[in-house]
């Protein structure tokens, strides 16, 4: 009887699967985007895979699980354990921004493959420096970056990659407007790729080597994420904005609390948030270490799809809605509840995006901690907060100030997220309102958010405060000045503060003085979620790759200072790594900005040797508590970190880096892994890693290792010699041994853990993932 029951269950499952799939196939002709009419959304495959996995697991699924497991390469046999299994996935598409696309495309060229296997795009947004205003800054960028833009444009044409020209906008806004859709699995070579979760997709930031795998039709590997649920109740109102949701989540989880997990928002409060507002929340989820963040499909997403000329996708997603929301009874590894009725506007910072300060407390906190109260500059926009709705709410505040005869007391910059948003806010008068109160509208690009800011108003080292609607505020992030105190908040709060000129201004309760001497208080900002007249697309800035690109020439000048073809890294010599130097023992926070700074270094992102001159120059050396000053153990002289590393490499001395918690948090830039490998590094030994950086290190043939006992960090001294043993028996789940030889002749052994699976061990043995790929061709 049990056997018959089992057979009946299988039969019923098969009938149901056949029926639902046939319905999906009837609407399977929906294109992924208007730019790729021949590339279809694979909702039928998604539904089929979800059914297979649900029948296997016999439990309700979260939305995150539906989308991730729905893209499994082998849903029948894939081991699925949250936080343990390595999943092999088939993403729908790849997106690359121009700073990371250079190295990604150089690696793809090295692979020897003729064309990308999945829809892929390059977006020119990172190389435009903010100086005097949008038009002039864009023209200057096109001139000084012409070599790089030409390389990316021709490489895209040759290998089948769409190219968004400089001025088109920030990658994540372009994706939201054109490529993201409910249920998509998209990987992007930028840590804020999760922005697409605002449209119900699983969009994950990765390094360029991961992008190369997907473009080469190799299944993408991801450790099965845990799922943290965030239940939203109540609704947003007044001065409280979507940004305040993620500021509070960062306060709760901290910068590493989301590591290895997807943040899944749900609950009745979701419907009070616009689609672009959901994108804001998902975008900044990168700052808590999350793999990505996602919202369930709802009417706000449908409205946005229709407004961006994707009615067909909206209809298909609506038909698929049961698969684009979590199942009833789905369980989360952790559950957070936030009452939006009780949430208040806040600012996070300085120097870290998880230091929470409600507007009602910021003045007292600043006075207690000695943070400068004068706001020197207020900056709104960036990939996090540059939607039409964001611009409209900020313009409403500016109009109120203008009506009272006020101009901004602080410098005030505005960055539209895309050419479409720029053109629309120009047409609808928002841009002029910003200019009328003293604002400067910058180019449609990342600009000051990533350090592309030619700042002149303060001297380097001068203590000052800025407030931004950005997502990240590490030391020196925006202007390379380590004394700049940067606070991240909503565009609403930034805009209000530029008229007060003071960090302690609370727009909910505080008054300003009008030009006539009267007192007034800002009304809570309002703004249309979507433009009543529809979006103005502005200038057409997209270049589609030709049908046949094999004859396109992609040239890299051997004398170029901006671009350099890659040479394969050396393979493992088959022995233990013995008597390695400690290049630097890092004290405290060490983000990818500390390891490989952006700003002026962005111009070398396509030239590995040149950009390696910035390796770890921002990290603090525990030996002297200084940056970029370490002792050369061969000469006993002090020098810059890259210089000492080059000297060790020239003398065949392998080296390691020793670090603290959440090492490598922040950007997805794989240069932070490529540079140590290029300059002779062999292992990075820390208390814990940020997800993307750990993967990037593995991809480049390095050993990312963690102390079995975090207190062992204290045992290693800067002048020690480090040996890593057990590499001949390197296997998944088996720790490696580390022998520490002290300068006094004594030694001690500790245990180092790793998260390598067998395939990743083969990357190490081959010298890199790219070496392994080429070996298998």
Beta strands in 528-644 (DSSP E): 542-543, 577-585, 620-621, 626-627, 630-631, 638-639
pLDDT at 26: 53
pLDDT at 98 over 70: yes
Give, in order, the Cα–Cα distances in Å from 95 to each of 178, 210, 280, 526, 606.
Answer: 12, 11, 18, 33, 17
Q: Give me the helices (H) in 325-387, please.
A: 362-369
pLDDT at 317 over 50: yes
For residue 667, indicate whether it is catalytic: yes
Nearest C-alpha neighbor of 240 from the set 300, 281, 283:
281
Could you give phi then psi for residue 388, rounded to 5 degrees?
Answer: -60, -40
- Active-site option among 82, 172, 396, 669: 669
Residue 734 sits at the vertex; the CA angle it makes with 733 and 737, to the nearest 5 degrees, is 140
CA gap 423, 441 in Å, rounded:
12
For 586-627, write each residue's pLDDT tens digit. Answer: 999 999 999 999 888 989 999 999 999 999 999 999 999 999
CA gap 496, 507 in Å, rounded:
6
Q: Are 594 and 587 in contact (CB under 8 A)?
A: no
CA gap 475, 293 in Å, rounded:
25
Give, in order, the Cα–Cα distances in Å from 140 to each of 144, 539, 601, 606, 680.
Answer: 6, 18, 17, 19, 36
pLDDT at 18: 31
**Of all residues in the chain, what percent carry a pLDDT higher than 70?**
96
- Active-site option among 667, 668, 688, 768: 667
Cis peptide before 599, with omega less than 30 degrees from 0?
no
For residue 472, indicate whether it is catalytic: yes
For 388-409, write each residue's pLDDT tens digit. Answer: 999 999 999 999 999 999 999 9
CA gap 87, 73 in Å, rounded:
8
For 518-558, write each residue's pLDDT tens digit. Answer: 999 999 999 999 999 999 999 999 999 999 999 999 989 99
pLDDT at 27: 57
CA gap 205, 193 in Å, rounded:
5
Could you give phi then psi for residue 519, rounded to 5 degrees?
Answer: -95, 140
Q: How confident is the model at residue 17 (pLDDT cuts 50, 70, 90)?
A: very low
CA gap 131, 118 in Å, rounded:
37
CA gap 436, 164 in Å, rounded:
31
Residues forming a β-bridge with 220 = 89
For 492-517, write each residue's pLDDT tens digit. Answer: 999 999 999 999 999 999 999 999 99
Q: Are 505 and 522 in contact (CB under 8 A)?
A: no
Q: Are 720 and 712 in contact (CB under 8 A)?
A: no
CA gap 530, 307 in Å, rounded:
7
DSSP-assigned letters across all residues of 252-274: HHTTTTTBTEEEEEESGGGGGS-
pLDDT at 3 over 60: no
Residue 758, judged by CB atoms within 10 A of its CB (0-12, 13-18, 19+), counts as exposed
- Active-site option among 92, 98, 137, 190: 190
Residue 202: in which H helix or E strand, if any?
A: strand 202-205
CA gap 410, 270 in Å, rounded:
34
- Active-site option among 126, 455, 671, 754: 126
**Of all residues in the chain, what percent carry a pLDDT higher than 90?**
93
* Cut 0.85: pTM above it: yes
Q: Mean pLDDT in the chain?
A: 94
CA gap 106, 129 in Å, rounded:
24
CA gap 299, 99 in Å, rounded:
35
Residues forming a β-bridge with 752 = 707, 736
Q: Are 707 and 605 in contact (CB under 8 A)?
A: no
Give, in order, the Cα–Cα distances in Å from 690 to each of 476, 485, 527.
Answer: 20, 24, 37
pLDDT at 600: 86
Q: How confident is the model at residue 449 (pLDDT cuts 50, 70, 90)?
A: very high
Residues forming a β-bridge with 740 = 722, 748
Q: What is the mean pLDDT of residues 117-123?
A: 97
Q: Are 293 and 264 in contact (CB under 8 A)?
A: yes
SS3 686: strand
Q: At what angle do helices 275-284 and 171-178 cross, to 10 degrees?
A: 140
pLDDT at 12 over 80: no
Nearest C-alpha neighbor of 78 from the set 96, 64, 90, 91:
90
Q: What is the mean pLDDT of residues 405-429?
A: 97
Q: Which phi-psi region, left, alpha or beta, contains residue 120 (left: φ > 0; alpha: ψ -120 to 50)? A: beta
DSSP-assigned letters across all residues of 131-163: SS-HHHHHHHHHHHTHHHHHHHHHHHHHHT-EE
What lies within 8 Å, CB to CB, of 379 at 6+ separation is 412, 413, 415, 448, 449, 466, 467, 468, 469, 470, 478, 494
For residue 16, indicate whether it is catalytic: no
- Active-site option among 71, 82, 92, 125: 125
Q: Give me the helices (H) in 256-385, please.
A: 275-284, 299-307, 311-319, 362-369
What lies within 8 Å, CB to CB, of 360 at 6+ separation is 344, 506, 508, 509
Q: What is the mean pLDDT of residues 448-458?
A: 94
pLDDT at 692 over 80: yes
Q: Are 225 and 260 in contact (CB under 8 A)?
A: yes
- Active-site option among 88, 472, 693, 754: 472
pLDDT at 668 over 90: no
């Amino acid at each position: 009887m049990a056997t018959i029951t089992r057979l009946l269950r299988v039969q019923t499952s098969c009938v149901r699967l056949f029926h639902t799939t046939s319905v999906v196939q009837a609407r399977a002709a929906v294109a992924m985007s208007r730019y790729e009419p021949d590339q279809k959304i694979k909702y039928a495959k998604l539904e089929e895979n979800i059914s297979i996995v649900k029948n296997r697991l016999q439990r309700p699924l979260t939305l995150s699980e539906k989308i991730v497991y729905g893209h499994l390469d082998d849903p029948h046999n894939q081991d699925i354990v949250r936080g343990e299994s390595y999943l092999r996935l088939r993403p729908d598409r790849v997106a690359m921004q121009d700073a990371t696309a250079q190295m990604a495309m150089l690696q793809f060229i090295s692979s020897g493959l003729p064309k990308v296997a999945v829809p892929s795009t390059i977006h020119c947004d990172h190389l435009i420096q903010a100086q005097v205003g949008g038009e002039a800054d864009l023209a200057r960028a096109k001139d000084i970056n012409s070599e790089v833009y030409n390389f990316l444009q021709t490489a895209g044409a040759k290998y089948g990659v769409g190219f968004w020209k400089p001025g088109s906008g920030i990658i994540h806004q372009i994706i939201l407007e054109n490529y993201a859709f409910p249920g998509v699995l998209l990987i992007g070579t930028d840590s804020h790729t999760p922005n697409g979760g605002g449209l119900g997709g699983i969009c994950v930031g990765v390094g360029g080597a991961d992008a190369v795998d997907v473009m080469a039709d190799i299944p993408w590997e991801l450790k099965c994420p845990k799922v943290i649920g965030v239940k939203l109740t109540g609704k947003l109102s007044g001065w409280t904005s979507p940004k305040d949701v993620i500021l509070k989540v960062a306060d709760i989880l901290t910068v590493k609390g989301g590591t290895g997990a997807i943040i899944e928002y749900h609950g009745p409060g979701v419907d009070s948030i616009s689609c672009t507002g959901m994108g804001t929340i998902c975008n900044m989820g990168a700052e808590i270490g999350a793999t990505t963040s996602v919202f369930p499909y709802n009417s706000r997403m449908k409205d946005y799809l229709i407004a961006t000329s994707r009615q067909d996708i909206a209809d298909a997603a609506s038909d698929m809605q049961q698969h684009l929301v979590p199942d009833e009874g789905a369980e989360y590894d952790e559950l957070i509840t936030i009452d939006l009725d009780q949430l208040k506007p806040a600012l996070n910072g300085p120097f870290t995006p998880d230091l929470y300060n409600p507007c009602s407390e910021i003045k007292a906190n600043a006075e207690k901690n000695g943070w400068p109260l004068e706001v020197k500059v207020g900056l709104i926009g960036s990939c996090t907060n540059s939607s039409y709705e964001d611009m409209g709410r900020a313009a409403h505040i500016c109009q109120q100030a203008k009506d009272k005869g006020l101009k901004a007391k602080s410098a005030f910059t505005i960055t539209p997220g895309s050419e479409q948003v720029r053109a629309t806010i120009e047409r609808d008068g928002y841009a002029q309102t910003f200019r009328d109160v003293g604002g400067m509208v910058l180019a449609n690009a990342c600009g000051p958010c990533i350090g592309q800011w030619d700042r002149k108003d303060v001297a380097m080292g001068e203590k000052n405060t800025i407030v931004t609607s950005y997502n990240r505020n590490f030391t020196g992030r925006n202007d390379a000045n380590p004394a700049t105190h940067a606070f991240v908040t909503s565009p609403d709060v930034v805009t209000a503060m530029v008229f007060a000129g003071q960090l302690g201004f609370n727009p909910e309760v505080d008054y300003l003085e009008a030009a006539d001497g009267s007192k007034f208080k800002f009304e809570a900002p309002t703004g249309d979620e979507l433009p009543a007249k529809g979006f103005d697309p502005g200038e057409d800035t997209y270049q589609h790759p030709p049908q046949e690109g094999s004859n396109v020439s992609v040239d890299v000048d051997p004398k170029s200072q901006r671009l350099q073809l890659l040479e394969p890294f050396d393979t493992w010599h088959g022995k233990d790594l013995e008597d390695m130097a400690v290049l630097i023992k890092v004290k405290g926070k060490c983000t990818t900005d500390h390891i490989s700074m952006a700003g002026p270094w962005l111009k070398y992102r396509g030239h590995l040797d040149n950009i390696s001159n910035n390796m770890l120059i921002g990290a603090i050396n525990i030996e002297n508590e200084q940056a970029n000053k370490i002792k050369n153990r061969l000469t006993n002289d002090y020098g810059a970190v890259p210089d000492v590393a080059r000297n060790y490499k020239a003398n065949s001395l392998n080296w390691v880096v020793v670090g603290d918690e959440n090492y490598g948090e922040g950007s997805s830039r794989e240069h932070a892994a490529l540079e140590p490998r290029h300059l002779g590094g062999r292992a990075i030994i820390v208390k814990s890693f940020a997800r993307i950086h750990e993967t990037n290190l593995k991809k480049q043939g390095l050993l990312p290792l963690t102390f079995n006992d975090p207190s062992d960090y204290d045992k290693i001294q800067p002048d020690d010699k480090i040996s890593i043993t057990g590499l001949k028996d390197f296997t998944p789940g088996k720790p490696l041994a580390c022998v520490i030889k002290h300068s006094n002749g004594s030694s001690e052994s500790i245990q180092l853990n790793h998260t390598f699976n067998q395939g990743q061990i083969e990357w190490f043995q081959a010298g890199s993932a790219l070496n392994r790929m080429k070996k298998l061709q």
